[in-house]
Amino acid sequence: MATLPLIKGTLDVLVLKALSWTPMHGFEIARWLEDRSGGRIELEDSALYQALYRMEERGLVEAQWGVTTNNRRARYYTITEQGRRHLEEEAVRMTEYAATLTSILALQAPPGRG
Amino acid sequence: MVRPGIRDYFRLRPRTPEGLAAQVDEEIALHIELRVQELVAGGMDPERARAEAERRFGGVMRAQLLLQRSARERERRMSVREWLAGWRQDFAYSARSLAREPLVALVVVLTLGLGIGANATMFGIIDRLLLRGPEHVQAPHEVRRLYITQRSWTGVVETTSSAAYVHYTLVREWRDLFTGAAAYSIRSSRVGRGERARERRVGWVSADFFPLLGVQPALGRFFTVEEDRPREAQRVVVLDYGTWQMEYGGAADVLGRNIELQDERYTVIGVAPAGFTGPQLEAVHMWVPLSTISPPHPEWPTTWNARWVHVLVRRAPEVSWGTANAETTRRYRAAADPAREREAAAVLALRPLAYGAQGAEPAELPVSRWLAGVSLIVLLVACANVTNLLLARALRRRREIAVRLALGVSRGRLARLLLSESLLLACAGGVLAVALAGLGGRALRALLLPDVQWGPALDLRVLVFSAAAVVLTGLLIGLAPVLQSGTRNLSDTLKATSLRAAAGRSTLRSTLTVLQAAFSLVLLVGGALFARSLWNAQQVELGIDASRVLAVWPSYPASGEDSPEAQQAVRSRRDAALRGVLERLRLHPGVARAALAIGTPLQGTLGIDLRVPGRDSLPSLPGGGPFISAVSSGYFETVGTRILRGRGILPSEGKGTAPVVVVGASMATALWPTEDPLGRCLLIGFEDPPCFRVVGIAEDATNQGLRDLPAMRYYVPLGQEVGVGGTHLVVRPRGDVDTFIPELRRLLHELEPDATFFGVNHLQKYIDPQLRPWRLGATMFLAFGGLALLIAAIGLYSVIAYGVAQRRTELGVRIALGASAAAIVGMVLRQGLALVLAGVALGLAIALATGRMLEGLLFEQSARDAGVFAAVTLTLLLVAVLATVVPALRAGKTSPLDALRTE
């Protein structure tokens, strides 16, 4: 099974989705995405951090330094109210898009042709 | 995991780029490390695991730089956003906390609104009068008017902007001094014909007038040099924008239409831009080529004798005004005919456009400048008062503030919180101020400076000024509480009782109260001085009842007669017709009195040769003269000039009867200081005039209005005059003068159908503008002074009331120890009055010191008038007692039990 390249804007939504569960640091987010996609999402780790910084700047996530269970200092990201709204809107939009795409691609060729 | 969200409390936000980079590096390092751990746990050997982790990160070095850059960008933007969010929070907090003390907020907003509003209003006026110059004039300070100072024919040295056309053509050639010159004359002229005719202000201007000012037409074009060539001029007209809108509905096809101006047909070729008023500030209805004017002199393009235009120049960039003035005088003297001594000794000067016809700044300008300063004082008084209130509030909040500081809020952050409160108050005051400036500005302009064509009362410049005033005011009133919060000793405040904390803070507040009282006194003294000046000016004996008299000037169509004899015949016929009109007018129930005259006060002066038997020369009076008037019987009663001795002009006297003359009082004294003037002889006219016997002495009648100097004036019977003309009617209506004008016009056209128009001038309209500076000064100084007094009274009240509240315990103790209520009331009253008396003393000193600067603007009024000072001081003390008595009485009612229990 081939890995999937990410469509623009999708990464933000996936990261927000991850953070909607609980605040996480960068590596936790990367692991979460790998686990949920069954390893099918191909992602350079630095792109993840770029997305996080960008969303922090836009006020979709907040970052705070915290301490991991192993007593390591880590930058934890939390989704903001604004981030939650963004996630909801984008999730609806993307789901509808995917459904439309699916229904078109699932069309059978009319009988008598081909 | 430690719950995140505490970073700000430990100030973990990096402040330096290095700190930021280190954080990014730390984040990456942790990620790589965790990835390596994961891979090793999956069975990979450590070295390969590290390589794989770095590959998956996308190249650590590259990613590091990339992320650091985007982190920097992120921090930059976020810090701006957080800064703004902080302010928003502070504003919201301030709004909530002010809402808990609505009375304080209300008083502060009102006070600031009035203070800033006064400044915005005055700025709107000053901006138009002084700063901006006339609308649409490019670089108005580079354009000036020519003034000529020389001895007049009456022997008085005068400065005037009235020039001959040759002055203009001469100056125009001096290209090295001026990039341009233009001539203009703005006068009331008749548009239309008969009863429908109207007087309009018409600018008769040379073709280079518009290019010199740098103005562009709103529609069509301005006229060309060819259209303005003397004796070949084309009758074309450029409409004022307002006239175009009002009378032609702004129609684009107005071009090519005809307008009848002074009985001649003019073709509309353009429309001036909206608000354009030429080099002055008063509205002008239309602009026409100067050369189309009905000539004031047959040789007008070349003669030095007719002074009827004003000359404008625009300075060449490299020439200073000093050089331009000196050169203009030098070249003018060189060009003048040496035989004409007066011209050869003349001094020419270029002065700013705002200057009046006599070469001086009109009194409205210095008065306005003073008023702008005064409005600033009002604002300072308002700020002092608001500072007082906010200090009191800060005292009430001192524990809240101390707690915040103790919890580690930085002093900068606390200052921002306090500033946000004062800025919020100033903003609310600013909104009120703009509303006030809009309403008040319009009323003020219409009432006090009605001739100036104002733009909207609230333009962008006034709004920007108000915004700046709001910010400055906000900072100013926030200063004291912020400084105070910065210096306070924390632990003392937290431990202190209210009694102890209040002590020592009142010095600043008392000082502010003293200053408020002082400034109020200064402003009220100024107001009273102007009010007295206005009163004095209104009481001036003009020698005529200007408010009761109309001067009526008939105009006739061109006679078409060429020979002097035929023209004389036409004039005689018209004068006879006017006598008929006079007889009919005298019978009209609306007319109390009427007469015919040549040479009426305020209508211009006439002079002809006059000799006195037995004297080689005439004495010279400061007001000039001798000026001749020719009047019918009933003239003196009509205009209200009293006959002091002898008699006036009899109905039987006129052409062909024995020559007689009535002499003005100053002239009689000057000519015959020791003898009886009655029965003396005056030789009036050229060549070999007959002897005019003096039959009466009249009181001095004004020539110009209020600031008139004694001049020589005499009156001969109408018909006996020589060499002067311009017969007009003077009418004294029975009832209201202005409402009688339309009826009078109708009557005149009915009685004299030959006349095309009757110009009707209410003599008071020449006096009113002269009263205006004092009216402006008195109204505004008193308004501002009253405002300052009100604000100061509120301030005093709040200081005393607050003091009483603070000293409740002390007062309670005093009462408990046996002090009577009266003694307590007296003590508080004394305390309040002591502050005000200190203010009065300071204010009197300031008023005495600055009064001299004001003296030039007053009318026959000393700036150190004891009566004025006494009255103002008493007013201030009375207000002070009123403001103090309420809290004093409350202090007297202090219950010792309650007071002691609360502590």
- The confidence score (pLDDT) of residue B345 equals 85
Q: Which residues of B490-526 are buried (b: 16+ CB within 10 A; e: fewer)?
A: eeebeebebeebbeebbeebbebbbbbbbbbbbbbbb
**Nearest-CA distance from A74 to chain B in Å?**
7
Q: Are B893 and B821 in contact (CB under 8 A)?
A: yes
Task: Tell me the mean pLDDT in the region B10-21.
Answer: 66
Chain B residues in contact with A46 (beta carbon < 8 A): 57-59, 62-63, 66-67
Could you say which DSSP state residue B623 is in?
Answer: T
Distance CA B592, CA B176 (A): 61
Q: Are B633 and B595 in contact (CB under 8 A)?
A: yes
Distance CA B604, CA A68 (A): 100
B66–A46 C-beta distance less than 8 A: yes
Q: What is the DSSP string of B201-227?
A: EEEEE-TTHHHHHT---SEE-PPPTGG
Residues belonging to chain B with any Cβ–Cβ distance to chain A shorter than 8 Å: 1-7, 12, 23, 26-28, 30-31, 34-35, 38, 56-59, 62-63, 66-67, 70-71, 73-74, 77-78, 81
Q: Is A53 on the interface with B (CB under 8 A)?
A: yes
Q: Which of B7, B30, B67 sits opposite A74 (nearest CB)?
A: B30
A72–B67 C-beta distance less than 8 A: no
Quote the tokens at residue A85: 């709204």
Nearest C-alpha neighbor of B212 from the set B250, B181, B247, B244: B181
Q: Is A26 on the interface with B (CB under 8 A)?
A: yes
- The confidence score (pLDDT) of residue B903 equals 53
Task: Tell me the mean pLDDT in the region B460-470.
Answer: 93
Q: Are B383 and B473 in contact (CB under 8 A)?
A: yes
CA angle centred on B645, ends B643 and B647, rounded to 5°? 65
Residue B847 has pLDDT above 50, yes or no: yes
For residue B77, what is the nearest residue in chain A, using CA coordinates?
A: A57
Distance CA B763, CA B549 (A): 6
Strands B157-160 and B236-239: unpaired
**Nearest-CA distance from A93 to chain B in Å?**
27
Distance CA B379, CA B123 (A): 13
Task: Tell me the mean pLDDT in the region B553-569.
Answer: 79
Chain A residues in contact with B7 (beta carbon < 8 A): 64-65
Count CB neighbours of B881 within 10 A: 14
**Nearest-CA distance from A65 to chain B in Å?**
6
Q: Are B136 and B211 in contact (CB under 8 A)?
A: no
Q: What is the DSSP string of B785-800?
A: HHHHHHHHHHHHHHHH
Q: Are B369 and B126 in contact (CB under 8 A)?
A: yes
Q: Are B695 and B662 in contact (CB under 8 A)?
A: yes
Chain B residues in contact with A45 (beta carbon < 8 A): 31, 35, 56-58, 63
Chain B residues in contact with A11 (beta carbon < 8 A): none
- The confidence score (pLDDT) of residue B188 equals 87
**Nearest-CA distance from B277 to chain A in Å?**
54
* Strand order across the beta sheet in which A24-25 lies: A24-25, A73-79, A61-67
CA angle centred on B789, ends B783 and B795, rounded to 5°? 140
Nearest C-alpha neighbor of B135 from the set B254, B244, B252, B284: B284
Q: What are B769-828's pLDDT values in tens digits? A: 888 888 888 888 888 888 888 888 888 888 788 778 777 888 888 888 888 888 888 888
Chain B residues in contact with A74 (beta carbon < 8 A): 27, 30
Q: Is A47 on the interface with B (CB under 8 A)?
A: yes
Quote the tokens at residue A88: 């909801």
B1–A76 C-beta distance less than 8 A: yes
Residue B269: its H or E element:
strand B264-271
Q: How sure is the predictor about A68, in pLDDT bands with cuts at 50, 70 and 90?
A: confident
**Nearest-CA distance from A45 to chain B in Å?**
4
- The confidence score (pLDDT) of residue B500 equals 45
Candidate from A14-28, B76-90, B196-210 with smallest mean pLDDT:
B76-90
Residue type for position B566: A
Chain A residues in contact with B4 (beta carbon < 8 A): 23, 64-66, 76, 78
**Nearest-CA distance from B47 to chain A in Å?**
19
Candidate from A93-97, B379-383, B479-483 with smallest mean pLDDT:
B479-483
- The confidence score (pLDDT) of residue B502 equals 47
Chain A residues in contact with B71 (beta carbon < 8 A): 53
B4–A66 C-beta distance less than 8 A: yes
Chain B residues in contact with A53 (beta carbon < 8 A): 67, 70-71, 74
Count CB neighbours of B596 within 10 A: 23
Distance CA A9, CA B364 (A): 68
Distance CA A16, CA A83 (A): 7
Q: How sure is the predictor about A114, in pLDDT bands with cuts at 50, 70 and 90?
A: very low
Q: What are B699-723's pLDDT values in tens digits? A: 999 888 887 788 899 999 998 988 7
B2–A46 C-beta distance less than 8 A: no
Stretch 55-84 of chain A: residues touching chain B, C-beta under 8 Å: 56-57, 59, 64-69, 72-76, 78
Mutate to test the interface with B, among A49, A52, A58 (most CBs of B within 10 A): A49
Residue B267: its H or E element:
strand B264-271
Q: How far is CA B179 from CA A67, B182, B243, B351, in A?
A: 78, 11, 31, 16
- The confidence score (pLDDT) of residue B356 equals 87
Distance CA B859, CA B864 (A): 13
Which residue stretches of B350-397 are H helix? Answer: 364-396
DSSP strand E in B559-712: where? 591-598, 610-611, 627-631, 643-646, 660-664, 681-684, 691-698
Say what percent of chain B tops pLDDT 90: 35
Chain A residues in contact with B30 (beta carbon < 8 A): 25-27, 72-74
Chain B residues in contact with A32 (beta carbon < 8 A): none
Distance CA B307, CA B161 (A): 9
Q: Which of B2, B3, B58 sits opposite A45 (nearest CB)?
A: B58
Q: At residue B412, what are phi and psi to the nearest 5 degrees?
A: -60, -45
Chain A residues in contact with B81 (beta carbon < 8 A): 59
Range among B55-69, B300-314, B803-817 rated most confident? B300-314
Strand partners, B683: B611, B691
Q: Are B792 and B385 in contact (CB under 8 A)?
A: yes
Q: How far is CA B136 from CA A17, B210, B262, in A?
A: 62, 10, 28
Question: Any long-range contacts for B186-193 (C-beta under 8 Å, 24+ apart)?
Answer: B186/B278, B186/B280, B186/B282, B186/B284, B188/B759, B189/B261, B189/B262, B190/B261, B190/B262, B190/B263, B190/B555, B190/B756, B190/B757, B190/B759, B191/B259, B191/B260, B191/B261, B191/B285, B191/B286, B192/B260, B193/B260, B193/B263, B193/B756, B193/B757
Residue type for position B849: A
Q: Are B901 and B809 in contact (CB under 8 A)?
A: no
Residue predicted with more confidence, A1 or B870: B870
Task: Tell me the mean pLDDT in the region B292-318.
Answer: 87
**Nearest-CA distance from A84 to chain B in Å?**
17
- The confidence score (pLDDT) of residue B499 equals 45
Q: Which of A47, A49, A76 sits opposite B4 (nearest CB)?
A: A76
Cis peptide preceding B481, ω within 30 of 0:
no
Q: What are B602-658's pLDDT values in tens digits? A: 887 888 888 888 888 888 888 887 899 999 999 999 999 999 999 999 999 988 899
Angle between helices A26-36 and A45-57 (to 10 degrees): 120
Say what percent of chain B tops pLDDT 70: 95
Strands B728-733 and B236-239: unpaired
B26–A23 C-beta distance less than 8 A: no
Q: Which of A25, A46, A72 sits opposite B63 (nearest CB)?
A: A46
Q: Are B332 and B170 in contact (CB under 8 A)?
A: yes
Backbone torsion region of residue A6, taken as left when φ is above 0, otherwise alpha when ψ lies between -120 and 50, otherwise beta:
beta
Residue B539 CB partners (closer than 8 Å, separation 6+) = none
Q: How sure is the predictor about B158, in pLDDT bands with cuts at 50, 70 and 90?
A: confident
A44–B58 C-beta distance less than 8 A: yes
pLDDT, chain B, mean: 86
Task: Please report the sign of the dihedral spanned by the C-alpha atoms of residue B249, residue B255, residue B258, residue B264.
Answer: positive
- The confidence score (pLDDT) of residue B568 equals 81
- The confidence score (pLDDT) of residue B2 equals 38
Q: Is A25 on the interface with B (CB under 8 A)?
A: yes
For residue A59, what is the nearest residue in chain B, using CA coordinates?
A: B78
Chain A residues in contact with B66 (beta carbon < 8 A): 46, 50
Quote the tokens at residue B400: 């809240």
Quote the tokens at residue B719: 């018909």
Nearest C-alpha neighbor of B424 from the set B143, B98, B831, B646: B98
